Amino acid sequence: MPSAPESGLIRDETGTQRLLGYVLDVGQGDGAARCWLDIAPAHLNRHGVLHGGVAAALLDNASGATASLSVDETGRAPFLTVSLSIAFVAPAEGGRVMATGRKTGGGRGLVFVEARLEHEDGRLIATASGVFKRVRQ
């Protein structure tokens, strides 16, 4: 997986991000946010694979940040998840996983995003489809 320039990386911004240890990349310039995690024992379920809730958090973050990028090049415009559907395809035991969002429709208020969670070896782990609502400040 390509490494991202530091200028587009968001680290330790929220309690959830600090707890899970993922990194959010909004700096690739292609309108797609990426969220990656180096899998540690704390991220595994009782079967020794990436917990579905952790996978969902990565997909949600990549998707929400992708929605944000559609109106703000810094990826920090606030969006809330309206709905998120996830399909789990394969397990991930260790290594790095990366979720990548892609805007599929909507406007400035509601944005539709699809995301893929892939292992560094190229395996598809999960997919997501969601609707995200802009929050005016």
* CATH number of the domain encompassing residue 24: 3.10.129.10
Answer for the pair 134, 86: CB distance below 8 angstroms, yes or no: no
Answer for the pair 57, 51: CB distance below 8 angstroms, yes or no: no
Q: Give domain status of residue 116, yes or no.
A: yes
pLDDT band at 7 (very low <50, low <70, confident <90, very high): confident
pLDDT at 2: 40
Give mean pLDDT, residues 101-130: 96
Q: Give domain status of residue 1, yes or no.
A: no
pLDDT at 4: 41
State which residues form the domain around 45: 6-134
Q: Give domain status of residue 20, yes or no.
A: yes
Q: Give domain status of residue 84, yes or no.
A: yes
Kind of pairing between the strands at 23-25 and 9-10: antiparallel
Number of domains, the chain: 1
Residue written as token pair 């990028």: 69
- pTM attached to this predicted model: 0.93
User: How many C-beta neighbours within 10 Å does residue 74 have?
Assistant: 11
Q: Give domain status of residue 60, yes or no.
A: yes
